[in-house]
Amino acid sequence: MADNKKMVESITPMDTDFAKWYTDIVKKAELIEYSSVKGCMIIRPYGYAIWELIQKDLDRRFKETGHENVYMPMFIPESLLQKEKDHVEGFAPEVAWVTHGGQEELAERLCVRPTSETLFCEHYANIIQSYRDLPKLYNQWCSVVRWEKTTRPFLRSREFLWQEGHTAHATPEEAIAETERMLNVYADFCKETLCMPVVKGRKTDSDKFAGAEMTYAIEALMHDGKALQAGTSHYFGDGFARAFGITFADKDNKLSYVYQTSWGVTTRLIGGIIMTHGDDNGLVLPPAVAPIQVIIVPIAQHKPGVLEKANEIAEQLKKKFRVKLDDSDNTPGWKFAEYEMKGVPLRLEIGPKDIENNQCVLVRRDNREKYFVPFDNLESQIEEILKVYAENIYNKAYENMQKRTYDCKSIDEIKQVLAEKGEGFIKAMWCGDEACEDSVKEQTGVASRCIPFEQERISDKCVCCGKEAKHLLYWGIAY
């Protein structure tokens, strides 16, 4: 091998150190690189290509449900941020402040948007006059900044990419329906596109978004048993509308406040993909967001005809799949390891013997299953295998979630599960009292995740105070 040739570096096994395994993957699969700005990451081509595929799929779903994209300024004047009391309390402690423009000190500080409710509200107050202007169904793709103390690539960073939907409606019913609709869009996307099972539910009051009347969330369970909040959808009632004066004239020319929602998912989803599907050899990507779906590795590529055939197949498959042919002079073994690290769903091997037999070899990333496939059957076979692969990684993730979800009827049972089984989702009944929620957290270390839409009654009593239970609640340790 030449001097400067890269080696495929091994990664820390998951069971040895899960956090290290995670950062090894994000670095060595070339998803991100650190920058000199603490807590901000560089998203490299391979990582960004995953984000582009996520964007494209979600954007289609947003447009199909009637939403339009806009772009708001990245700065929020301090006085504007302060207009809604709960909202500013939630965000002011964690924003970055611009105090100077060029050589001059600004008359009023500007924060770099941590989220854009205030900007959308100001705009809506300007452009909404009549019931004819409703609903407004806007979304924006942008980056936001939150000055976090501890950061981890994709999971928690000072700057991150996201989309934020902001809608205004004539009635509470319509706004609540929108809040639920978008949570379902997120959940369907996670299942269909990311092969990631999630629990849909409502956050407890103590865990709501700053300024929201109700926050819905989807919660996923990672390989290590920790919970990941993968997306949220908020119902604001008319709280923001009252703070910002967003009114409309109804058909009888009577002025009313609008009812609003907001909803968002972030590059955190990429962290979710890694920790849902990855293994000790690296990433395992869902086909729908894999920048390369099929990697073609020629065997004995110096032999006559091999590269020609490999190129011919690559050209043919490119019409239907995202395909790469690696004809570099690295060894096939190196290439196998490299693209396993990068989570490419299918490897296509082709050598002199395969060509003689008019076939090639396909190897799945998820379980290394091998298929010998005749050339004339290749496209339909790949399509079929990718479908089975996607189902398989979803099912594996779903089974992992089921296996690590525990019914607990007492604080002691919670403690016992955590001691014996490690982390996971804890299902337990709750009286609805914030004191009990706090107490469970204090005694056991798990925090409430959500009140799932699919309610069960695993006991009649609150797991903490023993009084009449109101809700089944999911608990867990969260990223």
Closer Cβ to a copy of itself, 102 or 304, answer by number? 102
Closer Cβ to a copy of itself, 128 or 176, answer by number? 128
Token pair recorded at residue 102: 């060029």
Q: What are phi and psi of 203, to 5 degrees?
A: -75, 150
Closer Cβ to a copy of itself, 4 or 358, answer by number? 4
| Residue 143 to residues 70, 92, 211, 269, Cα–Cα distance (Å) | 14, 17, 21, 15
CB of 267 to a copy of itself, least distance (A): 9
Closer Cβ to a copy of itself, 157 or 261, answer by number? 157
Separation CA 330–CA 301 (nearest Å)? 11
> For residue 422, which amino acid is it?
G
Closer Cβ to a copy of itself, 117 or 180, answer by number? 117
CB of 126 to a copy of itself, least distance (A): 6
CB of 74 to a copy of itself, least distance (A): 6
**What dihedral do alpha carbons 156, 161, 288, 314 form, nearest 10°?**
-110
CA atoms within 13 A on the CB side of 353: 4
Nearest Cα to Cα of residue 182 among 288, 10, 64, 282: 64
Token pair recorded at residue 239: 């709280």
Closer Cβ to a copy of itself, 315 or 391, answer by number? 315
> For residue 297, which amino acid is it?
V
Determine how many CB atoms are found less than 10 A away from the CB of residue 330.
18
> For residue 253, which amino acid is it?
N
CB of 368 to a copy of itself, least distance (A): 29
What DSSP state is assigned to residue 473? E
Closer Cβ to a copy of itself, 93 or 304, answer by number? 93
CB of 161 to a copy of itself, least distance (A): 6
CB of 41 to a copy of itself, least distance (A): 7
CB of 192 to a copy of itself, least distance (A): 23
Separation CA 226–CA 274 (nearest Å)? 13
Separation CA 257–CA 466 (nearest Å)? 42
Separation CA 274–CA 47 (nearest Å)? 11
CB of 250 to a copy of itself, least distance (A): 10
Return the bridge partners of 6, or none.
Answer: none
CB of 211 to a copy of itself, least distance (A): 19
Q: What are phi and psi of 76, to 5 degrees?
A: -125, 120
Asked if residues 390 and 287 have their Cβ atoms less than 8 Å apart, the reply is yes
**CA 315 to chain CA mean position, Å:** 33
Return the bridge partners of 161, or none.
Answer: 143
CB of 4 to a copy of itself, least distance (A): 4
CB of 98 to a copy of itself, least distance (A): 5
Closer Cβ to a copy of itself, 99 or 358, answer by number? 99
Closer Cβ to a copy of itself, 160 or 406, answer by number? 160
CB of 168 to a copy of itself, least distance (A): 14
For binding to a copy of itself (CB under 8 A), which residues are involved? 3-5, 33, 35-37, 40-45, 48-49, 51-52, 68-77, 80, 93-103, 110, 112, 119, 122-123, 126-127, 129-132, 138, 142-143, 145, 147, 158-159, 161, 249, 253
Separation CA 84–CA 115 (nearest Å)? 13
Helix axes 434-444, 411-421, angle to 10 degrees: 40
Separation CA 174–CA 261 (nearest Å)? 10
Closer Cβ to a copy of itself, 252 or 376, answer by number? 252
Q: What are phi and psi of 160, to 5 degrees?
A: -145, 160
Closer Cβ to a copy of itself, 251 or 457, answer by number? 251
Closer Cβ to a copy of itself, 154 or 394, answer by number? 154
Closer Cβ to a copy of itself, 76 or 199, answer by number? 76
Asked if residues 37 and 261 have their Cβ atoms less than 8 Å apart, the reply is no
CB of 103 to a copy of itself, least distance (A): 6
Q: Which residues contact 387 (CB under 8 A, 6 or more apart)?
A: none
| Residue 22 to residues 132, 224, 242, 269, 364, Cα–Cα distance (Å) | 50, 11, 44, 14, 22
